[in-house]
Amino acid sequence: MIRFTISDIRLPKMTKYIFVTGGVTSSLGKGIVASSIGVLLQSRGLKVTIQKFDPYINVDPGTLNPYEHGECYVTDDGAETDLDLGHYERFLNISTSQANNVTTGRVYQTVISKEREGAYLGKTVQVIPHITDEIKRCILQLGSSGDYDVIITELGGTVGDIESLPYVESVRQLKWELGSTNAIVVHLTLIPYLSTAKELKTKPTQHSVKELSRNGLTPDLLVCRTDRKLGRDMCSKLARFCNVDQNSVIEAIDAATIYDVPILLQEQQIEQIILAKLRLSSLQKSDISEWKAFLKKLKNPDTHIEIGLVGKYIELQDAYKSILESFIHAGARLRCRVSIRPIHSEDLDQENTTEKLAGLHGILVAPGFGNRGVEGKIAAIRYVRENKIPFFGICLGMQCAVIEFARNVMGLSTAHSREMEPETAYPIIDMMEEQKNITTKGGTMRLGAYDCDLVAGSKIQKAYGSTSIQERHRHRYELNNQFLEQIESAGLSATGTNPQSGLVEAVELEDHPWFVGVQFHPEFKSRVTKPHPLFVAFVKAAMNFKSNGSEVRKNQEQY
Ligand code: GLN
């Protein structure tokens, strides 16, 4: 007879769920709070991922105007996602995928196609249970892989919005099904200060918690955004009226940088509170020394440079979120404060580049779509190429560098991208045949991670320290290989190539301190504790440029 002891029985590992909801107003930083909680749980040795549910009807944010929704973040598997996924990846040093971002549009799309296939056997398809069941399936999908100890789910929108209701209901059902030690709710809210009354006010928070309770959900933790200390009395008042434990009222005071947030939350023992509620015990001691080392460097720079960011969405910082964060990571690594001067590409032309770019130590020309502002980008590139100022071009930025080179060095004065000028005689940037065929099927972009081989000894190869890399893409057009020989013999080298398709992924000028353009988006792979090598190399080049005493204006006299 076989005898079992308790220790022989292997219980399936239960994935724990943390739901992050938001109350009172949007833009409270749910993504940063969710990411910070993730960092703290990771520091205990737990495997964590984060997913976001967005309550809009678009199937994904790929078609949303950056003015509406900020940057569209791209994952390795080619999903076009919400920019909060960028925070998740940067904070947790993880890679996310399509499964990490679900929208109401996607949920409905799935349910409606199932209905068309007859999957509901003639039943009336309704928000409850069909939409909520699909939401629940999506929420549990990553957890069912068994790869994670904890899944954090951020619910977009604000509690009380009509669109949020099916999500709140799904979380209510899941909490009940999984049990209160396997699923908890963290509610992020705002405690405003009324200057006339000289008082912090809890009423909006009470109302938003009441709204949650009306839908059958009570928060396990309350994270309160505030611009000043809450104090014990305020916390006990909030606890009493919002039905949470007193130690579960956490203050999220305005921080100097988003990277302070994990530390500020840890000081209030948020991770111990969460671990206790989820019955996760005997874990390793928290280790966030790498994070703290990053913060120390970030806050104590030895030097300072200024980089010009040339783009057409510069009024909205969120449009270039990942690029801005990548500079923070790279700057901290090099103990250099990187200030960014946003420069609207539409304001630039041949005549005013000297004035507009004065004092800069490097210029990054941003990604983008469409004709608007392209000539300004090209003017900026001509200026930095001729004046040997460090240049970094990303996606459209790289394409503009090739156009500029074709026009002003190769003498093809009307060279252009087919995207901007369909009838151009010199389509130096063009849509590839294979891509045109894909267009008819609807998927028009090259999206997600592709391999890239680098030329040994090139600037880009030295930056990576490797000859084969993988980077993420989001574009339709490519450098036209029919012109490649001509481009290379005129002095712009293709130093990165896709080994499968032969498409050019990176170009650089040899006779220049640092002039690199990449067809891919390196900014999506920069991490707090692992800055991206290309951003590090570019910042280094700008630091050298500065220390050689050659800021833009001085340089101008030389050439
Ligand atoms: N508009 C260009 C293309 O589609 C570049 C896109 C980008 O910068 N992401 O190829």
The residue whose two tokens read 């104090």 is 231
Q: Can you give the pLDDT at residue 438?
A: 58
- Strands 73-74 and 80-81 come out as antiparallel
Question: Ligand 1, closest atom to CA 429?
Answer: 10
Q: Express each pLDDT in 152-181 by its tens digit.
A: 999 999 999 999 999 999 999 999 999 999
CB atoms within 10 A of CB 341: 15
Instruction: State the distance from the centre of ligand 1 to the C-alpha of 445, rounded, in angstroms.
Output: 9
Over residues 307-328, the mean pLDDT reads 93
CA distance from start to end of the chain = 91
Determine contact, residues 506/519, Cβ cutoff 8 Å. Answer: yes
Q: Which amino acid is at 293?
A: A
Query: Taking all residues of the chain, what is their mean pLDDT, rounded to a whole number?
Result: 92
Contact 374, 398 (CB under 8 A): no
Residue 270 pLDDT greater than 60, yes or no: yes
**Annotated active-site positions, please?**
395, 521, 523
C-alpha angle with apex 292: 289 to 296, nearest 5 degrees? Answer: 135
CA 24/CA 18 separation, integer angstroms:
20
* Pocket test residue of 310, 392, 416, 419 for ligand 1, highest count of atoms within 8 A of CB: 419
Protein residue closest via CA to atom 6 of ligand 1: 475
Tokens of 320: 């270039």
**For ligand 1, mutation pick of 313, 369, 377, 418 (most atoms within 8 Å of CB):** 369
Position 67 scores a pLDDT of: 78
Residue 52 has what pLDDT? 96
Which residue in 59, 105, 54, 95 sits closest to 80, CA to CA? 59
**Residue 397 · residue 364 · CB < 8 Å:** yes
The DSSP string of 187-256 is EEEE--EETTTTEE--HHHHHHHHHHHHTT---SEEEEEESS--HHHHHHHHHHHHT--GGGEEEEE--S
Measured from CB, residues less than 6 Å from any atom of ligand 1 are: 367-369, 395-396, 419, 474-477
How many Cβ atoms are within 10 Å of 134's Cβ, its own excluded? 20
List phi, psi (to 5°) of 236.
-70, -35
Report how far ligand 1's centroid is from the alpha carbon of 258 (Å).
Answer: 29
Q: Considering only the C-alpha atoms of the chain, give the largest distance between any 2 of them, rounded to a whole number of Å.
A: 93
Q: Atom 3, ligand 1: which residue's CA is nearest?
A: 475
Segment holding 495, helix H or strand E: strand 492-497
CB atoms within 10 A of CB 438: 16
Task: Give the pLDDT of residue 433.
Answer: 74
Q: What would the pLDDT profile of 351-373 be if each residue is shown by its tens digit?
A: 999 999 999 999 999 999 999 99
Q: How confident is the model at residue 332 (pLDDT cuts 50, 70, 90)?
A: very high
Contact between 361 and 545 (Cβ < 8 Å): yes
- Which is it for strands 150-155 and 416-417: parallel, antiparallel or unpaired? unpaired
Give 408's pLDDT tier (boundaries 50, 70, 90): very high
* DSSP string computed for 401-418: HHHHHHHHTS--TT-EET
340 CA to centre of ligand 1 in angstroms: 22
Antiparallel, parallel or unpaired: β 446-454 and 391-394: unpaired
What 3-state class would DSSP assign to 62? helix
Under DSSP, the state recorded for 442 is: T
Instruction: From the CA of 419, give the closest atom in ligand 1.
Output: 1
Q: 557 pLDDT band (50/70/90 cuts)?
A: very low
State the pLDDT at residue 172: 97
pLDDT, residue 558, reads: 39
| Distance in Å, CA 394 to ligand 1 centroid | 9
Local confidence band at 551 (pLDDT 50, 70, 90 cut-offs): low
Model confidence at 548, pLDDT cuts 50, 70, 90, reads confident
Amino acid letter at 376? G
- Beta-carbon neighbour count of residue 541 at 10 Å? 24
Atom of ligand 1 nearest to the CA of 366: 8
Distance (angstroms) between ligand 1 centre and the Cα of 473 equals 9
Distance between CA atoms of residues 364 and 342, nearest Å: 10
How does pLDDT run across 60-79, given as a tens digit for each residue? Answer: 888 888 777 889 999 999 99
Residue 370 CB partners (closer than 8 Å, separation 6+): 419, 420
Q: Which atom of ligand 1 is least distant from the CA of 394?
A: 8
Q: Which residues contact 545 (CB under 8 A, 6 or more apart)?
A: 361, 362, 389, 390, 513, 514, 551
In this prediction, residue 227 carries a pLDDT of: 95
Can you give 122-154 as a three-state secondary structure string? CCCCCHHHHHHHHHHHHHHHCHHHCCCCEEEEE
Other CB atoms within a 10 A radius of the CB of residue 145 amount to 11
- DSSP class of residue 398 equals H
Q: What gap in Å lies between CA 181 and CA 289, rounded to an integer? A: 29
CA-based R_g, the chain, Å: 26
